[in-house]
Amino acid sequence: MHARTLRALVALTALASALGAGCTVGERDPMRPDAAMLDGGGRDAQATPDAGPLECDPDSTVGASCTSTRECDDGCFCNGVEVCTEGTCVQHEAPCDDDIECTADSCNEEENRCEFVGRDEMCADEDVCNGTESCVPGLGCRPGLRLTCNDGDPCTVGTCDATTGCAFIARDLDGDGFADERCGGEDCNDDPVVGAAISPGGTEVCGNAYDDDCDGLSDYRDPTCGAANDTCDTAEMLPGPGTYVRTTRGAANNYALGCRPTGVDTVFRIHLDDPADVQVTLSVESGTGSVAIRPWASCASGPDAYCRDNEVLARDLAAGDYAVIVRTSTGSTFSLTVAQMTATPIQRVDVCNDATVDISAGGTFTGFFSDVNHDYTLSCRATGTAKDVAYRLVITQPSDVRLTASTTASSSTTTYLSLVRDCTSPATAIACVQRASAEIFRRSVAPGVYYVLLESSSTAATTWRLVADIQPAAMRNPGDACSSELDITNSMVSVPLSSVEIDYGTTCGGNTTSSRDASFSFTTTELRDVVLTTEVGGIHYVSVAGDCGDLTTETSCTSGTPRIEQRMLRVPAGTYHVTVSTALASGSIVASARLEPPTFPPANDTCGGATDLVHAVPATADLLAAGDDVLGCAAEGSPDAIHRLVITERRNVTLVARRTDGSPEVLAIGLRSDCATPSSDLACASGGGSALLNRTLDAGTYYVVVESSRGAVGPYSIVAYLAEP
């Protein structure tokens, strides 16, 4: 019910009470209510207790004279309550107006009630984003629920347009106009904090750890970023340990690195507050590379303190500044990792001198190859550039020496181990072996100063391990070592192979760990020929030396099987040491040294002593003590004897040379026009046991050179036949 209607009813009730106090004949019973008070404010038509409700006659009483409000009731509900005002019936406002604009007000006369219907369209504000407004009777316009623009897809961002409503666009959190590539867009970094400056087509900022132009290449991997630290003057100061991605692109070859002479280089600078081990690891994305460390003061001039491919471990660097030079084969991006560790003191094992670490007391010794350089050549490894390690061994009494060494790298390695008297002379090696775990065992090593050299087959080897066991020499079997060598002067001596071990070997072979050797000696008191004979039953090696066990004093070394006989000419007075070495493990070594009168060279040993050849008259000579005076038809070093042939007119010449000791060994004849000139050979001939040469020659003086190999020297005869051409 409308508020004004209620107020009118209240006023009417008050008026009725006032009128009832002075009721006259013919007026309504004051105890009978007005129709307007019935049904909760129903019809206001006048009625008597017996007449029932008044028929609705709209506005039929308005303007009529009245003495009370009851007289003004027209029996209608929907047109409001009529009251008597100053003796005239006056129409009040209609009851069904709620003062709410969005409702449609109506009145139901039949049911004596008001009806209010909301019209939602009256509340619409033309903004669909804040929801659909509605009209609620009694309350008016009320807002709707705001639109929630969320489609559940993390790759879209919801927006709302007042007219069209929700819309969903690709995510661009940093607002740079490019959608996130994780959602199918092109923006490689959509981080709202830093991503606004990163987008396709942007400018690459070198060194900020972002791919600023979204080309998939960040910082120095991007071709637009070149090396800015090409020289020591422009070196980049590294803040400390870490991994740095840089490039040599655009750099030049400025400095000579010991481990890589060619390529392009860039320079970094590091600072150490305290002594430290510094490990620098280089990973090149294209090509190969090396890294060197130098004191900063010698950044440009060098030399390198350390230089290796891919990785350098510089130990016990003093506090201060250092240059790190990176060189790559071509301009390339690389990763440089710098690590600092507690300083580890460096051992003195790089070169051989009095300060080299001494292992005479024995023990286990280890180290890092990064501490040493390639300084020496080992007799069992004539080539190679791997770094080598040196230890000093001082023997004060005959000792048994056992050395075992191994090296480590990223893959399996071979270790080379040598025991030498002079590090700079491979020929002074007492033993040199190679194996994954190399071992040298020598008994009765004589007193003296020795050095142990070891290196790895891998130039990338990192560490080594050496075990030295030095013990007083044990008693040796007869002939087993220098301390028990056997005298074979004018006598034959037999030594069982089962009683000897490898000690020295020879320079021409028989020095492996599986070999065995025996030691003999012979003595001459005056100039003599010595016929040295050895027999083992298989291949063996025989050396003669001035000092027992010292390979550097060898005067001869030969091999053969099963018996070797060699004549040593004009041996001066003295004692000589013979080593016989073999890989056989059973049987015996038999040796003898027979002394004979000295053999002197033949009279025709040189061009000046050439003997004349006469037609059909044999000439004899012996190549036994001859030297190699003429470089003729035989190989260099072949002993030769010279003959002269003079012809007075053109003749056909046949030369025949034969061995007179029955040997089938090859004999060679050379015919030349000038004895001393190598290029003057006119013809050459050779054959087993004999040789024949035939030529037609003009009148003149010719020289005939007879030669054989040094191992096949002996007596021969030669004859010249002259005939009509």
Closest by Cα among 570, 569, 508, 574 to 543: 508
At residue 483, the 3 state secondary structure works out as helix
Report, as an integer, the average pLDDT of 560-573.
Answer: 94
Closest by Cα among 518, 520, 519 to 489: 520
For residue 191, the model assigns a pLDDT of 83
Percentage of the chain lying above the pLDDT 70 cut: 93
Task: Tell me the β-bridge partners of 246.
Answer: 334
Write out pLDDT tens, residues 54-80: 788 888 888 899 999 888 988 898 988
Q: Are 363-472 and 482-596 equal in CATH topology?
A: yes
Report, as an integer, the average pLDDT of 271-278.
Answer: 96
**Amino acid making up residue 413:** T
Q: Is the alpha carbon torsion for 481, 428, 387, 278 positive or negative? A: positive
Distance CA 690, CA 708 (A): 11
Left if phi > 0, otherwise alpha if psi is -120 to 50, otherwise beta: which for 459? Answer: alpha
Distance CA 159, CA 148 (A): 9
Closest by Cα among 50, 51, 44, 94 to 72: 44
303 upstream amide cis, omega within 30 of 0: yes
Report, as an integer, the average pLDDT of 113-121.
Answer: 91
For residue 385, the model assigns a pLDDT of 84
CB atoms inside a 10 Å sphere around CB 54: 18
Least confident of 168-182, 247-261, 277-291: 168-182
Q: Indicate whether 47 pLDDT > 60.
A: no
CATH number of 482-596: 2.60.120.380
Closest by Cα among 295, 294, 314, 313 to 304: 294
Name every residue whose Cβ is closer than 8 Å to that of residue 347 and which is 6 or more positions away in sequence: 357, 365, 367, 371
| Residue extents of the structural domains in the chain | 3-113, 232-342, 363-472, 482-596, 607-723
For residue 618, the model assigns a pLDDT of 96
Q: How many residues does the chain have?
A: 725
* Phi, psi for 37 (deg, rounded to 5): -95, -10
Q: Indicate whether 478 pLDDT > 80.
A: yes
* Phi, psi for 514 (deg, rounded to 5): -90, 0
Query: In this structure, which CATH number among 1.20.140.10, 3.90.1170.50, 2.60.120.380, 3.60.21.10 belongs to the domain 607-723?
Result: 2.60.120.380
Six token digits for residue 47:
């009625």
Compute the radius of gyration of the chain from its Cα atoms.
62
Q: What is the DSSP letter of 489?
A: B
Write out pLDDT tens, residues 127-136: 989 888 999 9
Contact 269, 301 (CB under 8 A): no
Q: What is the pTM of this model?
A: 0.49
Write out pLDDT tens, residues 600-637: 999 999 999 999 999 999 999 999 999 998 888 888 88
Task: Tell me the β-bridge partners of 530.
Answer: 568, 595
Q: 427: pLDDT confidence band, cut at 50, 70 and 90?
A: confident
Q: Is the alpha carbon torsion for 619, 624, 627, 631 positive or negative? A: positive
Six token digits for residue 293:
């460390």
CATH number of 363-472: 2.60.120.380
Q: Domain 232-342 belongs to what topology?
A: Jelly Rolls (2.60.120)
At residue 110, the 3 state secondary structure works out as coil
